[in-house]
Amino acid sequence: MRQKLVIIGNGMAPGRMLEHLFERAPETYDVTIFNAEPRVNYNRLMLSPVLSGEKSYQDIVTHDDDWYVAHGVTLHKSARVETIDRNRKRVTSATGISADYDKLVIATGSNPFIIPIPGHDLEGVLVYRDLDDVERMLAAADAGGRAVVIGGGLLGLEAAAGLKAQSMEVTVLHLMSTLMERQLDPAAGYLLEKAFEERGIEVVTQANSSEILGRDGQVSGVRLEDGTEIDAAIVVMAIGIRPSAKLAENSGLNVGRGVVVGDDMRTSDPDIFALGECVEHRGQCYGLVAPLYEMAGVLADQLVGGESLYTGSVTATKLKVTGIDLYSAGDFAEGEDREEIVLRDAAAGIYKRLVLRDNRIIGAVLYGETGDGPWFFDLLKKQLDIAEMRETLVFGQAYQGGPPLDPMAAVAALPDDAEICGCNGVCKSKIVESITDLGLSGLDEVRTHTKASASCGTCSGLVEQLLGLTLGDSYSPAAVRPLCACTDLGHDEVRRLIKAKALKSIPAVMQELEWKSSCGCAKCRPALNYYLVSDWPDEYADDYQSRFINERVHANIQKDGTYSIVPRMWGGMTSSRELRAIADVVDKFAIPAVKVTGGQRIDMLGIEKEDLPAVWADLGKAGFVSGHAYAKGVRTVKTCVGTDWCRFGTQDSTGLGIRIEKFVWGSWTPAKLKMAVSGCPRNCSEATCKDVGVICVESGFEIHFAGAAGLDIKGTEVLGLVKTEDEVLEHIVALVQMYREQGHYLERIYKWAARIGVEEIRRQILEDTDRREAYFDRFVFSQKFAQVDPWSERVSGLDKHEFKPMATLSLEAAE
């Protein structure tokens, strides 16, 4: 018979504990979770990228609703527990929900500390702990103005960088003389302050806030102890956190600064455990995720009768601000019993300091170059004698014991138990074993199966190197290849930095990302143009000079220098009027060749370049728009006649194909996109070798994707079965938008799917309703600014901006 396990709190620590528990003993407990927040478990480490705009909430969800259902977990959202009845072994929430337990886990996290100065309760005084806080800051940022962040620690600086990325003016007030004084020495703190000021963020140290000023109940500024006043639209307090232990205290449990636990994670009640930031263990409270994950592993083992014990953690810190490399671990205070090794390179902005005692590392501070952080941290945790490498130690692992090692050899030299991912506590051997045993071939797969690099992502490079080391020549990660010779950055990093730094022009990208050439090349300029069009559809002006000639003239250049034009025929359907218009154009301009294409359209070949505007003008009068036969975009939606004419047809494939094509045409995608809708499983329109295909069946519509029938021949993957045309449109549009946002320029959808993972795409599009709707909404928004045929102001009688549904989730086809 299953026992009843109740968990109070649904943060990262209990989420990780449940993963361990379900891996080891999935049938042992019936699990009930009470979550004070109105949502599922998400990665709080990624709040900073959400605030800066690099990620969305959907991107940081750890366990979606389907995960809880799959594991039989009862999740009560917006249900803050108010009482624990230890005698009856029952918990009750403020909403009146009760649950009995055999074992109880308290994981109530921590509360932000608010300085009790005058004005601290004004509207506009915010804290930075959870997604609700981020949403409040984003809402405030929309109104603009200045944000004052009180606190120059990890959270305060991440909040400041995020608000600056949202175009607010930002001032950081810090009581101490240097930033992050708990994690950094004064030299590194100085470099960090300089880096923030170079980003346009004002930093005021030794600033003691005495009052928050207000007007009509709303924040208007901050007054310092020396009388200085700083205007502010919002004030973010990021002073620190305190364990949330009040519930445990009210329940009669032993509480100090936090909920006191032993090495077995038990509280003073043997049937109640505590986990995470609310815990006090051996007099220590932890606010970083790595110790919480270590606790989670121990607790999961204890719940299944194991003997694992938690004896404390040595922690390392990284700042999650794009473009700032900082690493800190251990004890770096001065003392008579210790010595230090310091390396400074002012020109390169590099500072390294190692603190030694008895030839063992006890502290490390790295700024500007942090690649050796995990190696130094491993030496620190194991307290290894470094006497033999003393002279070269500060230069890093590559310089020990002979000539410098290349990065791959340095990773190979790491011991099996070396920690690669500090956030998730994943060591080298676990990653290598997972790659080998599970046949993993890419970074996303390793993240899924091991959690390595799934949190802050700063260890991604090490994981990539382990993939290369383990798989050898068979590993070829396109994501880490430079986009072109003009940069060392790959496609993914360029796309991420465009969003993170709010870069909205090609010159801005090249300047901020330190392009090696003055104006780029024929490879990178079209890619950058696409990424900017995709990421900033409402702000970036498409640069036609960065497009290939075919896209600039809306025609395909042929080997003799002439061009071909393909008018769009929705779903392959046409009429006598359209055919007469084409015939008239062919005669008028003496077009030498007319051909029916494989996409059910008519191609007119041999047109002189100077005739292209006039040809398009005549075709536009007949209602034609470009078929985009040249485009990195949606080209055709091939259809069969379906139920209108075919005796085997199960659905109106022609009508659905036209509806899809009219909805998605005109938007740029990473590479060409071909679609098809077949009215029955006989598949006359060849939907199972297209980028996106639909097979109509008696029970609905089977959606396919990631096929190929060109240089590569590949059948499609099945996304899933839906019942209505509206659902078809919603799923296909979301799939296309996901591809638009994640695909590398010129990467066909089947190659993108192989890189991302078919299962991950199914999860996001088929299973995650919120994420699917978000993709759909972003596509609809971008359509407002999609390309328009340059030769005609009217498109089939409708203005382009009227042609697409814009503001709401509308599934109606444009007529």
Pair 48, 138 in one domain: no
3-class DSSP state of 509: helix
Can you read off the two tokens belonging to residue 674? 């071909």
Strand pairing category for 713-714 and 169-174: unpaired
Backbone phi and psi for residue 636, each to the nearest 5 degrees, phi listed first:
-140, 155
3-class DSSP state of 229: strand
Query: Angle, nearest 10°, between helix axes 443-450 and 428-438?
Result: 110
3-class DSSP state of 437: helix
Q: State how far the Cα of 472 lies from the Cα of 492, in Å rounded to an integer.
A: 22
Binding-site entries for [4Fe-4S] cluster: 640, 646, 680, 684
Can you read off the two tokens belonging to residue 626? 């470009």
Q: State how far the Cα of 505 lies from the Cα of 290, in Å rounded to an integer.
A: 39
Q: Is residue 75 part of a domain?
A: yes
Task: Yes or no: say if 606 and 558 are a contact pair by the CB < 8 Å rule.
Answer: yes
Buried b or exposed e, range 183-202, using 16+ CB within 10 angstroms: bbbeebbbbbbebbeebebe
Pair 514, 649 in one domain: no
Pair 641, 783 in one domain: yes
Q: State how far the Cα of 138 lies from the Cα of 156, in Å rounded to an integer.
A: 15
3-class DSSP state of 234: strand
Q: State how far the Cα of 482 lies from the Cα of 524, in Å rounded to an integer.
A: 10
Pair 615, 518 in one domain: no
Pair 731, 799 in one domain: yes
Residues of the chain with pLDDT under 70: 322, 401-410, 422-424, 455-458, 476-480, 787-815
Pair 705, 743 in one domain: yes
Q: Is residue 661 part of a domain?
A: yes
Residue 407 parent element (H or E): helix 407-413
Based on the structure, what is the number of domains in the chain?
Answer: 5
Q: Is residue 396 part of a domain?
A: no
Pair 643, 759 in one domain: yes
Q: Is residue 403 part of a domain?
A: no
Pair 185, 158 in one domain: yes
Pair 232, 252 in one domain: no
Dihedral over Cα of 210, 216, 220, 226: its sign: negative
Phi-psi region of 718 (alpha: psi -120 to 50; beta: other; left: phi over 0): beta
The pLDDT of residue 281 is 96
Dihedral over Cα of 453, 456, 459, 460: its sign: positive
Question: What is the dihedral angle through the alpha carbons of 600, 601, 604, 605, rounded to the nearest 10 degrees?
Answer: -40
The pLDDT of residue 711 is 78
Binding-site entries for siroheme: 684
CATH number at residue 676: 3.30.413.10
Pair 166, 210 in one domain: yes
Q: Is residue 269 part of a domain?
A: yes
Q: Is residue 362 part of a domain?
A: no
Can you read off the two tokens belonging to residue 803? 């042609």
Binding-site entries: 640, 646, 680, 684
Pair 233, 257 in one domain: no
Q: Which of 547, 567, 584 is where one domain is finished? A: 547
The pLDDT of residue 372 is 86
Task: Yes or no: say if 11 and 41 are a contact pair by the CB < 8 Å rule.
Answer: yes
What pTM does this model have? 0.66
CATH number at residue 247: 3.50.50.60
The pLDDT of residue 457 is 65
Q: State how far the Cα of 338 lies from the Cα of 225, in Å rounded to an integer.
A: 37
Q: What residues make up the domain containing 723?
A: 634-803
The burial class, CB within 10 Å (0-12 / 13-18 / 19+), for 355 is buried
Q: State how far the Cα of 425 lies from the Cα of 23, in Å rounded to an integer.
A: 17
CA distances from 317 to 153, 154, 329, 335, 370 (A): 11, 9, 6, 22, 11
Cα 8 to its chain centre, rounded Å, is 28
Q: Is residue 760 part of a domain?
A: yes
Pair 193, 96 in one domain: no
Q: Is residue 756 part of a domain?
A: yes
Task: Yes or no: say if 678 and 648 are a contact pair by the CB < 8 Å rule.
Answer: no
3-class DSSP state of 557: strand
